[in-house]
Amino acid sequence: MKLFAVLDSFDGSISTEHGIGRTKQATYMSRLSPMELEHARGIKTLFDPDGLMNAGRILPCR
């Protein structure tokens, strides 16, 4: 995906406060380290312990 090639050339990253969209989801998730993924899931669980917001969309709480 061209977007990620440009990001890599600048050692950049994507800000996802408004989501990344389904098209980029798999690529974005594959770029996260296990620790980043664990932290993201932890934040999601902190603010949505019952998994009601965007249930199962990208980061399942459990």
pLDDT in tens, the chain (62 residues): 688 888 889 988 777 666 677 777 788 888 888 998 899 889 888 998 988 887 767 665 55
Q: Which two tokens stand for residue 13?
A: 């990253």
Looking up tokens 């995906």, which residue turns up? 1
Radius of gyration of the chain (CA): 13
* pTM assigned to the model: 0.60
Q: Where are the alpha helices (DSSP H) in the chain?
A: 2-9, 21-30, 34-47
For the beta carbon of residue 28, count every other beta carbon within 10 angstroms.
19
